[in-house]
Amino acid sequence: PHLHEVSSAPSAEQLARQAFARDLVQALDGQPRRISPKYFYDAAGSQLFDRICELPEYYPTRTELAILSQRAGEIARHIGPDAEIVEFGAGSLHKVRLLLDALPRAHGYVPIDISGEHLAQAAQRLRAERPGLAVRPVVADYSQPMRLPEAAPGVRRVGFFPGSTLGNFDPAEAQAFLSRAAQLLRGGGLLLGVDLVKDPAVLHAAYNDSQRVTAAFNRNLLLRANAELGADFDVDAFAHSAFYNAPLARIEMHLQSLRAQTVHIGGVGWRFEEGETLHTENSHKFSVEGLRALALRAGFGIGPVWTDPERLFSVHWLPA
């Protein structure tokens, strides 16, 4: 009765599930055990992340929004008219709206995201708001090499990569991503938001909020594995652990086994000793100089940087 399903090509959802299965099994096989934070963002995880952005302790989102809205005019002058805005990882449209509002003559908007569903919805909403704007979503994993639709003649591509998502990459990955971005954006530039090195206590609080939303966000990865892959993680037997690794200038998030236990996926078991962790995220923090050195090595020029008065967060204009 289900022959038509057997013969049809795998859906985007099935492919995403397979990639998650492959990467989680690889993480569990590894030592140390480490998985990409991109798997946080299923529907539930995306909602938890939106709640994180509203937390009193989590300063990055509101600080970046304040910088973007206060400096929108100045930023728009660097971007110039007739640009096509390419957003890497189009989450909420909140931030790009601030930018587009300051760019009445923007030619187009190309949001790139791995979640096609999320992306289609966002594109529809924006088209309704801005009928003159060419919105061309691209479903892709921007952490991998990728191609973009041809830009119209005379249109400059300007990248937008807010939220300090760059900080999720290891330094070598960040370098590789920026090098590819510099090529894709040649003739235009990149507007890049990154979190800054600061008092470790402030960083610690931002990833250990008192409402424990970040803990739920971290643990949601295990719930997702149970729901999508039939894993049997005992979610209550893993603690949220987030700490600042000062030598590497990064927040690390882990899920730490509270006791010796064995977890199973598809009949295969992996043992966790008490205290052993699954490393779920690195969130690198930058200095303005360090970021500029990285950008230069990737082939960008150096433009102005905008920060808040407390120097918590930074937004960089990098000509390509």
Q: Considering beta carbons, is residue 134 or 176 the nearer one to ligand AVJ? A: 176
Q: Which of residues 209-228 bind ligand AVJ (CB under 6 A)?
A: 214
If one asks whether residue 162 binds ligand AVJ (CB under 6 A), the answer comes out as: no
Among 163, 194, 314, 317, binds ligand AVJ (CB under 6 A): 163
If one asks whether residue 137 binds ligand AVJ (CB under 6 A), the answer comes out as: no
Q: Which of residues 260-319 bind ligand AVJ (CB under 6 A)?
A: 281, 283
The residue range among 67-75, 134-142, 160-168, 175-183 that interacts with ligand AVJ, by the rule CB under 6 A, is 160-168
The residue range among 26-34, 136-144, 159-167, 221-229 that interacts with ligand AVJ, by the rule CB under 6 A, is 159-167
Q: Which of residues 21-80 bind ligand AVJ (CB under 6 A)?
A: 52, 60
The residue range among 22-30, 113-121, 164-172, 265-273 that interacts with ligand AVJ, by the rule CB under 6 A, is 164-172
If one asks whether residue 164 binds ligand AVJ (CB under 6 A), the answer comes out as: yes
Min dist CB 33 to ligand AVJ, Å, is 18
Q: Considering beta carbons, is residue 212 or 259 the nearer one to ligand AVJ? A: 212
**Are the C-beta atoms of residues 250 and 207 closer than 8 Å to each other?**
no
Min dist CB 175 to ligand AVJ, Å, is 18
The residue range among 14-22, 158-166, 178-186, 290-298 that interacts with ligand AVJ, by the rule CB under 6 A, is 158-166
Q: Using alpha carbons, select from 313, 299, 256, 300 the residue that is nearest to residue 280.
A: 256
The residue range among 114-122, 162-170, 221-229, 264-272 that interacts with ligand AVJ, by the rule CB under 6 A, is 162-170
Binding site for ligand AVJ (CB under 6 A): 52, 60, 163-165, 167-168, 207, 214, 281, 283
